[in-house]
């Protein structure tokens, strides 16, 4: 497996610039996390966009789609802000022959306590185990991309198809 | 999905006891890592053994097998020292109806730079994506448990079936 | 020694609120840092203000002065944003009988890589070693509060009295 | 101020070698901590010994003394294991014209939660604030080296001159 990572910004990559007293999107943290995870496969990380996902435009999503379609590799992880992750995933609908997994973080990877490393591991575990398709790896779960939403108040991703009163969750 | 975690010790759970100037196996770190990963599924963590995996006995492995067989849940992750992870996995051979994923760490989870959170994410991504069977999630990869070995010198897990001279790895 | 800490906000205490995709001032991190530092003296932490230091008003500074004057303890550390730390220190001029040390951080204490714990240690080392007065502990150095400025471009504090060409710095 | 650091080993510098399933003394962490602390003074770090402090010999202590005496700088911090820190400090008795501060850690600096950065900050704050002499900076306090002992059971350093029943500690 060769893993292609496309970084599009979001909380996962946020850094703090003291000179501006501001947080911005920094360089992709995926490289650091994969090295710390001591992965034994080849990978490339391409930084496509550095934005909060609420600021992503149709043009940004067209760029992501074009780069994913042009990618010669089967295994793709997209790091993305959580607020519009499902929208960008929807913009990739119909791309065949690839396993595409989106992930991100609720807390910046540079924090001492962050979900970033766990989430990227989750995505890497899923991308090599699943058939072709588009998935979202968040909240410790793997969702099909068209059956998941972010519950902003609860701070988690949840299935849109889970029966609310099911007996055996 | 309800996830059952069985902790058996190993580097992942090592702590440093200053009073003894020594490292020992502490309480399972899986709980902390899953909480930091903000997982949205129920899980239980049972601490079965607290040993370096080189010290595990046949009786220890029989205990792990008995607990896995008796577990009512389909999804099981076993945290384990890396040196004999494949031996304990072999001791579970033939257990049907479950997805069992072993993982561990090369550096203690309590370190600032550790593969522990990434590896547990990897295992959680795999356990819910794969058919029943026994797997090892290390080095960023998911291996079938009977086709993998630890390369101690290189500090990684590698497949025993990868063709050494293959053209397109 | 009993140590009184007054927290006034600043980068040191910044947290990331995913629900708002925003950074705000959180609860004082001084308590966590002192516990992690395993200090063996009694201390109290009072959170006076939660602001970026650029937003502090004259009323805020009057509050800090009033609380410091009313404090029965000799040893006081003020955690503060770095941009106007020297202004608040100047607002305390003339308070006698106390050792008052300001400190803060360039990176939030919640980051994996932060100057926060080191800086608070620096302040605690200084507050118990120096005669009464008002000091700033930043950039690894202890400055008298009326002879220091923040060099925002360089991201450090520097003395206003160091001779620029001195032979033996 | 130019700061000379002499590293002699101890918990502060411990690393975990997975290939040996063992902890050893690694390269001095003081450099990393001072850089993370964004210090604005020049410093040099010399690694003299890499041992648990219980293993230090008279010859080791003679080496530390020789190097401290030969050091042209006034400000010296010695990082040292905690168990025999006071013995090595005693071996430096009578060295004049220098401020010498010992510090160390109860938990390795490479841990996510460690007293190492705080303690080194404490030592750096003390070394530039105190008159010449030999001091120990641990447990958040600055002790004169000949009036302190490690209380191994309690995991802290304590003064040998504090009155045990004093009313106002």
Could you tell me the domains of chain C?
Answer: 2-159 (3.40.50.1170)
From the CA of A165, how many Å to the nearest CA of chain C? 27
| Chosen from D35, D129, D130, D137 to mutate, greatest number of chain C CBs within 10 A | D129
List phi, psi (to 5°) of B128. Answer: -95, 0
**In percent, how much of chain C has pLDDT > 90?**
83
Assign C167 a pLDDT band (cuts: 50, 70, 90): very low
The per-residue pLDDT for A147 is 96
pLDDT of A111 higher than 50: yes
Q: Say which residues have a Cβ less than 8 Å from residue C34's Cβ, sequence separation at least 6.
A: C5, C43, C120, C124, D118, D140
Q: What is the predicted pLDDT for the residue at D22?
A: 67
Rounded to two decimals, the pTM is: 0.91
Q: Are C67 and C6 within 8 A, CB to CB?
A: yes
pLDDT in the model for residue C20: 61
Residue D120 has which token pair? 């080194």
Does D122 lie at the interface with C, CB-CB under 8 angstroms?
Answer: yes
Determine contact: B58 vs chain D, CB below 8 A.
no
User: Is A126 in Cβ contact with B121 (below 8 Å)?
Assistant: no
Residues 6 or more apart from C94 whose CB is under 8 A from it?
none
**What would the mean pLDDT of D151-163 be, rounded to a whole number?**
87
To the nearest whole Å, the CA of A10 is away from the closest chain B CA by 17
Selection from C115, C112, C90 nearest residue C102 by Cα: C90
Alpha helix ranges (H) inside D110-150: 116-127
Residue A149 has pLDDT above 60, yes or no: yes
DSSP strand E in chain D: where? 2-9, 14-17, 22-25, 42-51, 75-79, 99-103, 133-138, 141-144, 148-151, 156-159
Q: Do B18 and D107 touch (CB under 8 A)?
A: yes
Do the interacting molecules here have an ipTM over 0.85? yes
CA separation for the pair C13, C5 (Å, rounded) = 13
**Contact at CB, D16 and B19, closer than 8 angstroms:** no
Contact B21 D54 (CB under 8 A): yes
CB distance A10 to A23 below 8 Å: no
| D35-51 average pLDDT score | 97
- Least confidently predicted of A10-19, B16-25, C110-119, C130-139: B16-25
| Contact B61/D at CB under 8 A | no
Q: Do B112 and A112 touch (CB under 8 A)?
A: yes
Per-residue model confidence as pLDDT tens digits over A51-68: 999 999 999 999 999 999
Residue pair D74/D39 in contact by the 8 Å Cβ criterion: no
* CA A148 to each of CA A163, B9, D37, D47: distance values in angstroms, whole numbers, following the listed order: 13, 36, 43, 55
Measured at the CA of B44, the angle between CA B40 and CA B46, to 5 degrees, comes to: 150
How much is the pLDDT for B18? 67
Res. A152: pLDDT tops 50: yes
Q: What pLDDT, on a 0 to 100 scale, did the predictor assign at position D20?
A: 61
Q: Interface partners of B (3+ CB pairs, < 8 Å)?
A: A, D
| Closest residue on chain D to C111 (Cα) | D112
Please write the tens of the pLDDT for every residue from B49-73: 999 999 999 999 999 999 999 999 9
CA distance B141 to B156: 10
**B60 CB-near residues (< 8 Å, 6+ apart):** B8, B48, B49, B51
| pLDDT tens by residue, B94-149 | 999 999 999 999 999 999 999 999 999 999 999 999 999 999 999 999 999 999 99
Residue of D nearest to B154 (CA): D19
Q: How far is A64 from chain B (nearest CA, A)?
A: 24
- pLDDT, average across residues A14-37: 85
Encode D27-65: b = buried (16+ Cβ within 10 Å), e = exposed: ebbbebbbebbbbbeebebebbbbbbbeebeeebbebbb
Is the model's pLDDT at D35 over the cut of 60? yes
Residue D48: what pLDDT?
A: 97
Chain B residues inside the 8 Å CB shell of A38:
106, 115, 139-140, 155-156
Q: Is the pLDDT of residue A20 over 90?
A: no
**pLDDT tens profile B4-16:** 999 999 999 998 7
Cβ of D82 within 8 Å of Cβ of B18? The answer is yes
What are the contacts of D141-149 at 24+ separation with CB within 8 A? D141/C1, D141/C39, D141/C40, D141/C41, D141/C128, D142/C125, D142/C128, D142/C129, D142/D101, D145/D86, D145/D89, D145/D90, D145/D92, D145/D102, D146/D89, D146/D90, D146/D93, D148/D86, D149/D86
């Amino acid at each position: 497996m060769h893993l292609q990572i496309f970084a599009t910004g979001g909380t996962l990559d946020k850094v703090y610039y003291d000179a501006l007293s501001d947080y911005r999107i920094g360089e992709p943290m995926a490289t650091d996390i994969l090295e710390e995870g001591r992965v034994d496969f080849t990978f490339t990380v391409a930084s496509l966009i550095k934005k909060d996902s609420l600021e992503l435009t149709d043009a940004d999503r067209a760029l992501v789609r074009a780069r994913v379609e042009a990618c010669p590799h089967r295994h793709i992880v997209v790091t993305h802000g959580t607020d519009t992750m499902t929208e960008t995933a929807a913009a990739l609908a119909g791309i065949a022959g690839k396993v595409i997994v989106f992930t991100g973080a609720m807390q910046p990877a540079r924090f001492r306590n962050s979900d970033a490393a766990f989430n990227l591991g989750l995505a890497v575990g899923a991308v090599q185990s699943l058939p072709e398709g588009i998935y979202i790896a968040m909240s410790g779960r793997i969702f099909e991309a068209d059956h998941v939403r972010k519950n902003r108040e609860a701070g988690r991703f949840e299935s849109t198809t889970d029966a609310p009163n099911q007996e055996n969750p």
